[in-house]
A and B are shown apart, each in its own frame.
Chain A
Amino acid sequence: MAILPTKNPILSAQNLCVESVGAKESFPVLTDLNFSLEPGKILGLVGESGAGKSMIGRTISQYLPKGFAVTKGTLAFDGEDLVSMLPERRRNLLGRDIAFIPQEPLSGLNPVLTVGQQIKEHLLRIGLASGENWRERALKEFESVHLPHGAALLEKYPHQLSGGMCQRILIAMAFASRPRLLIADEPTTALDVTIQARIVKLIAEMQKRDGTAVIFITHDLRLASQISDEIMVLYAGRPAERGPAKQLFSSPAHPYTRCLQLANPTITGPRRGLFILPERMPGLRVLKELKGCRFASRCPNAIEACTRAEPPLADIGPNHIAACIRTEKTPDIVPPPLAPGREIASARIHLNGEKLTKAYTTAWSPFAKRSSFKAVNSVDFSLGEGEFVGIVGESGSGKSSLARLVVGLDTPTDGRITLAGRDITANGNADRAYRREYIQMVFQDPQSALNPRRRIGSIVTQANEASGLHNSTRERMDRAAELLKEIGLPPDAAMRFPSQLSGGQKQRVNIARALCTLPRILVADEIVSGLDVSVQAQLLDLLLKLRDEHGFSMLFISHDLSVVRYLCDRVMVMYRGEVVESGRTETVFADPKHAYTRSLLAAVPPDDVNAEWSPVLAEAGYQVE
């Protein structure tokens, strides 16, 4: 390895291997990890779900899942081996010299203790405060993470705060001890785009203040390239490529890095097609039997020679290494051409909403006055035949409430909805039956939307039960086979249960179920969030392909602006229940008129690593926190 540390590294791994050492079988989760992290530097860890990113954090803390252990190599913190160190000594480092920021800020804090109790516990343990002066210290830490009203905050319980505030509190706790190493495991995945940008900037700011070395785990290569000094791309537990962030992003050497980059839609410039990484990362058990390059089964550049031996991590530039024998061919990987844009010439309006309003009133109580707030406030919209319309906005902006009105899960307080010429505002029984034929909804969380005790074949044809049509077993089996083929699942999946599918496959089933009765309109609420970019690209193209075949239209709710830009013809930007801007996606994104739209767009990390990412950190009036 050609990386010669100039300073003493704060963390260094040498030939680190972590394996499952179960009684029956053993397989590696991390293979031959080599890296060193200098003080004050940020290392970005990128890879698909299951690549082993979190496992690195767990190895550092040595809280590995049951049955896993370090089997080879060393992992040293400031020269001391973390693996062989006495547990007491390691526990002493945790929270003091090594700090962690979790993925889910809301569940990272104990729900039955106040924020004050929790930060006090931490400050007292690390000896930063004694007795009653913890309060002063806590307020000082809150100030440094820009949390206003610190004193009031101490009395609050986590559930009374937003995700962004909880994350700030956790960051304040993590940095209270001026740690030398921080591991942030997808610290912003659960947050809104604008808040994500602020939190990332905050981590960078604190990191600079204390000269902390940071391991920043994310599945977003673009985000990693913006904030890291160096990036390591992991594939199935082994580094595929490692190098200086900007260089790695602008000229990726490993095909996997390139594919990940091209699977993500862009936010600026001309729209391009998405590279579809086929299949999934091989499972860990399969890997053990695998000879040759572990990426070969999905690699567009694979040749016979690739399957002979595992390619070594070879130098390809200063401080830049990649595990591929044909790195010179990597730039040849190009995105497929963009599917020709559809002209919505017919402009036949399917669905129309006028001044739609949904007010929620608090439950009756003898002690409090009932108050009401408008989740959806006087929204006008229309959806033409074959049109995909995106709805973007922060959480709580009323996107899902609007979707619920459209599919009839809620009845509007005010306004009018018409569907193919018929007024369905009243949402009576006849309206519902009528609506069901036209509109189907795809839910956000396939995990909870799919009944775990039903087979996939029965789930995807569930809608037939309600309509009473084609309800014989034979007909349903045939329809299920057809649907599975359309969404690209093997026919034998019909007999499986949801638990036997991957997250992406479940979401496909979810889509197939909505398509079963050939609805004219789909309402999709955040259906690709939380999925890997590779799976996301597969699903986006699936939706476009299905539209070509069946010509349905879609209301597509998402907080991911790049995805909306790729998929949707028109976009509506919602803020506090109102539509603040709408129009053709490209126009709106290229030339946003409303300040809120601008702040949303600025929060997205730019496609060009050399461009400056300057999210609006706090704009008066447009702060949700």
Chain B
Amino acid sequence: MRMFATIAKLLVKRVLTAIPILLLVSALLFCILRILPVDPAAMSLPPNATVQEVEAMRTEMGLNLPLYQQYGIWLNKLFHGDIGRSIHFRQDVTSLIGSTLPATIELAVIAMMVATVFGLAGGLFLFYVRGTRAEAVMDFVSILLLSLPEFLWSLFLLLIFGVFFEVLPFTGRLSPGFERPLVTGFLLFDSLITGNIPTLLNALQHMILPCLALGIALSPSLMRVLRSSLLDAYQDDYIQQARLRGLSEKRILIRHGLKNAILPTLSLMGVQFGFLFGGTLLVEIIYSYPGMGNLMVDAIRNADLPIIQGAGLTYCVAVLVISIVVDSLYLILNPKLRVR
């Protein structure tokens, strides 16, 4: 009971602090992009528009008002879910983000799951072989893995499984000819609840390579943190004391060792997940994956300010949400933070 109260308190506190952060980020995004030497009015008109036409457009878009007024107007629209219209795609930014965000979330979540599985298994293995020759080998391997970035993994995997063995698809989310159910926008989820198994399987196949690439790139640091936290925990008296009470090694590892060692690992996962959210960019490009990363690249290439602003804000919200979730989990798992 007390735990829920503490978590509720944490949530209230974090949401309250999130508001000024979001305001600050939005102001920053707004200002920086206004300072860029790009004229939104000129960009939203055909190249042969006259100076008068541009000027009229500027007035219409409110670009002649003082900066703070412009910000106020922009913020007001934001509250009503209107981030503006994409100049390049000629579409509402909200709907653009709405159609790409779910794809990125699915990619990030599954990649994180892959990283967790690899990270925990690898960390346990590293711990298990401690002090043996296998440890030195594994240590070397994990450092090697750690030093390869995710886009190299993407390319390797793509070349090996996609091009050379031709066993897995490597562009987009679905092969042509598959029906795309639309309920929430989350493809995997939607095909699952509509019972569209062929689509589900095909979509999953498409996700294998990008998720593997991201997961493999993230897992080595998880492995190493888990291993070293386990080693730390095993230095502590309570492990020795549990042995002296005659508990089995397996029980000691799971109930006493892992339960303590998981805490530092969890906070690293939180950080990684935040990064992952913005870090799928290169992988999305390599696999032509229709997510936020690709949208962002297009927007930058075309100096499409509303999209950049919208994507930036989305990213900020996502990171805040993730950190709140991780902190609540931490609170559940670490009683020391729960006092009073």
A binding-site residues for B, Cβ under 8 Å? 61, 63, 66, 91-96, 99-100, 102-104, 107-114, 121-122, 125-126, 157, 159-160, 170, 173, 366-368
Q: Give 1 or 0 for each of B316-340: 1 = CB within 8 Å of chain A CB.
A: 0000000000000000011110011
Number of A-B contacts (CB under 8 A): 74
Give the interface SS of chain A, mostly helix, strand, loop or mixed: loop
A109 and B256 CA atoms in complex are apart in Å by 10
Separation in Å of the B128 CB from the closest CB of chain A? Answer: 16
Known: A63-B244, A91-B246, A102-B240. 8 other contacts (CB 8 A): A94-B243, A94-B246, A95-B244, A110-B260, A112-B260, A113-B255, A157-B335, A157-B336
A92: nearest chain-B partner, CB-CB: B246
Cβ-neighbour of A110 out of B131, B259, B339 (below 8 A)? B259
> Given contacts A63-B243, A112-B335, is CB(A366)–CB(B237) below 8 Å?
no
A103: nearest chain-B partner, CB-CB: B237
CB pair A122–B131 under 8 Å, yes or no, is no
> Given contacts A94-B244, A100-B241, A110-B238, is CB(A121)–CB(B255) below 8 Å?
yes
Contacts of B259 in A (CB 8 A): 110, 112-113
Separation in Å of the B7 CB from the closest CB of chain A? Answer: 13
Q: Give 1 or 0 for each of B206-249: 1 = CB within 8 Å of chain A CB.
A: 00000000000000000000000000000011101111111110
B34 contacts the other chain (CB 8 A): no
CB pair B237–A95 under 8 Å, yes or no, is no
A323 and B155 CA atoms in complex are apart in Å by 74
Interface residues of B in 248-265 (CB under 8 A from A): 248, 255-256, 259-260, 263
Contacts of A366 in B (CB 8 A): 13
B binding-site residues for A, Cβ under 8 Å? 9, 13, 131, 236-238, 240-248, 255-256, 259-260, 263, 333-336, 339-340
Cβ-neighbour of B238 out of A103, A109, A125, A367 (below 8 A)? A109
B334: nearest chain-A partner, CB-CB: A112
Contacts of A113 in B (CB 8 A): 255-256, 259
Separation in Å of the B303 CB from the closest CB of chain A? Answer: 44
Separation in Å of the A169 CB from the closest CB of chain B? Answer: 11
Contacts of A100 in B (CB 8 A): 241, 244-245
B260: nearest chain-A partner, CB-CB: A112
CB pair B245–A111 under 8 Å, yes or no, is no
CB pair A173–B238 under 8 Å, yes or no, is no
Can you identify 17 A-B contacts, CB atoms within 8 angstroms?
A61-B244, A63-B243, A95-B246, A99-B244, A102-B237, A102-B241, A107-B236, A108-B237, A110-B256, A111-B260, A112-B260, A113-B255, A113-B259, A121-B255, A125-B246, A157-B336, A159-B335
Separation in Å of the A111 CB from the closest CB of chain B? Answer: 6
Separation in Å of the A198 CB from the closest CB of chain B? Answer: 21
A33 and B133 CA atoms in complex are apart in Å by 36
A121 and B256 CA atoms in complex are apart in Å by 11
A160 and B259 CA atoms in complex are apart in Å by 19
A126 and B334 CA atoms in complex are apart in Å by 28
Contacts of A121 in B (CB 8 A): 247, 255
Contacts of B260 in A (CB 8 A): 110-112
A107: nearest chain-B partner, CB-CB: B237
A125 and B248 CA atoms in complex are apart in Å by 10
Contacts of B333 in A (CB 8 A): 112
In this complex, the member of A61, A95, A104, A170 whose beta carbon has the largest number of chain B beta carbons within 10 angstroms is A95
CB pair B340–A368 under 8 Å, yes or no, is yes
A112 and B255 CA atoms in complex are apart in Å by 10
A174: nearest chain-B partner, CB-CB: B245
Contacts of A95 in B (CB 8 A): 244-247
B2: nearest chain-A partner, CB-CB: A155
